[in-house]
Chain A
């Protein structure tokens, strides 16, 4: 706010036309925590994409002569009980976490936003159907629902019957159990955004510009996609960002419990579970994955905070 006041006094008559997005970007880069978090996330993204280049060892390469090494020159973060390089496993694990983040955002955009738009715009039975479903599913802890569903999925997908389940089952096998995690996540990750978008649409559709659009003869589809959707984008971005750490933590939690990704895939949840087993003798095997996971989740939260303040200071997303 202080900088805004300062520029008012300064003789700067020519200013590039401000848009919501440019203003938001300016506000975002002034938030130090958000900028540092964004830098960390971009770095993590690069590491995940180029994991095969960055990682010093293949994640599954065992070295039974050098098991449970502490952090040192040859293995920066040490090795695990099978002599696998901890750093390399962490690096490859970032791929799983960021894949989960990506899929979570996709579910929000492909399921949550359209359902919220439809519920808010069409009202009546569409609204009742969508919102009752959301209410029932939101009434219970996400993780409880996800665990119950994935218990069922695991049993069905391991011995799939029928052509459709067969395909899903073999895809789940190829992805090391990741598909099951995505399906379980798909059940819960769209809920809050659907509710949020519906609320936005309910208030927006009474506004004059929608009435004007309707008077010019715009069809429902045009009103929804050209007028309503762009106006809900800012809160959706914020909510999606806040959803990411939850999704990453859910995958890690499921894998930690042995319900998510299967070993030898190095999900951070699996690394932490292995670390817990060995923590009395080799605490570093627990410490590194736990800290990396925690820092990642905290950064996504700070970025979400920054985006919320930048896009709409009055907006509240939990």
Chain B
């Protein structure tokens, strides 16, 4: 077990290194900088100073090694766009907002998705199953920017119940629409997996044994079927994280949430390449860690699985 964990941990490093190198090359091969967009072209001397400040005239291998050394110390360098804040400070300020939003969305997804899937499986091939599958397909198929737009139109403009944008912390009414818009995707994924997993478990012998013992249907489903059905559901945690991250790009942008997803989109449109590079690395680290946790959790959830 310990050797497996260590080996899996060691695998994370090279894949992160590949991502780092590829993104670095891509970003540095990209022509242009935020300064040649401006209507008034900058004087050559100013451009030279800027290039020196950001070490753009160093040879590329030197830039690469310097940057790598800085990143390992947690310093992602200066941002092109923001004078007063470095990339690390921007990430430190925006990541917690997105983390709160993401965790709340995941919580919503679990609370809604798992029971919805379970209900659909128990009421297999009834209207409840069909309604649930319509909700599930809608959640999986609609892109987050459509979901958040429609939610704003409905809840903010038509009904007037909720504000049309902004962020005042996770316990404010402004958080409701972003949580719904981000959480519906993972909720649909969880519902689909819970349903199919539960249907698979339902035909197995230990369920028949549980019924034969005279247990109530509720006890059979919750204590015997669900417990076994949820193991494969855990495996989609990585998928749902990816879903949450990409949804945050759009939702935070449209709903004016000061999170890291919005910073990512702004760094793309503003050609703030150091910020772009830093955020991609943060996402890559996050995704690698979650995938690692998912792999390790199999053994705890299902004692039949042995690590080699």
Contacts and interface: CB of A to CB of B under 8 A. Distances in A.
Interface of A: 136, 139-144, 147-149, 151-152, 155-156, 159, 245, 249, 252-253, 256-259, 272, 275-276, 279-280, 283, 286-287, 290-291, 293-294, 297-298, 300-302, 305, 316, 318
A180 B31 CA distance: 16
Nearest to B241: A141
B138 interface: yes
B26 A283 contact: no
Interface stretch (B148-156, B214-222, B223-231, B299-307): B148-156
A156 B249 CA distance: 24
A272 B144 CA distance: 12
B190 to A, nearest CB: 13
B269 A258 contact: yes
Contacts of B29: 152, 156
Contacts of B268: 147, 151, 257, 259
B31 A155 contact: yes
Given A148-B26, A272-B146, A301-B137, A140 B153 contact: no
A143 B18 CA distance: 18
B288 A139 contact: yes
Nearest to A287: B153
Nearest to A302: B137
A155 B26 CA distance: 11
24 contacts: A139-B291, A140-B287, A141-B283, A143-B249, A144-B242, A144-B245, A151-B30, A151-B276, A152-B30, A156-B31, A159-B31, A252-B143, A253-B143, A253-B250, A256-B250, A257-B249, A257-B250, A275-B149, A276-B149, A280-B164, A297-B142, A300-B141, A301-B140, A301-B141
User: Dominant SS at the A interface?
Assistant: helix
A141 B164 contact: no
Interface string B260-293: 0000110011010000100010011001100100
9 closest Cβ pairs, A-B complex: A141-B242, A297-B141, A143-B246, A249-B143, A298-B141, A155-B30, A301-B141, A294-B142, A290-B146
B82 interface: no
Contacts of A302: 137
Contact of B32 (A147, A155, A283): A155
A272 B31 contact: no
Contacts of B196: 316
A6 B242 CA distance: 47
Contacts of A245: 141
A91 B184 CA distance: 28
Nearest to B23: A148
Contact of A272 (B15, B137, B145): B145
Contacts of A252: 143, 145
B254 interface: yes
B176 interface: no
A306 to B, nearest CB: 12
Q: Could you say which of B15, B140, B142, B271 has the most chain A C-beta atoms within 10 Å of its C-beta? A: B142
Contacts of B283: 140-141, 144
A204 B243 CA distance: 33
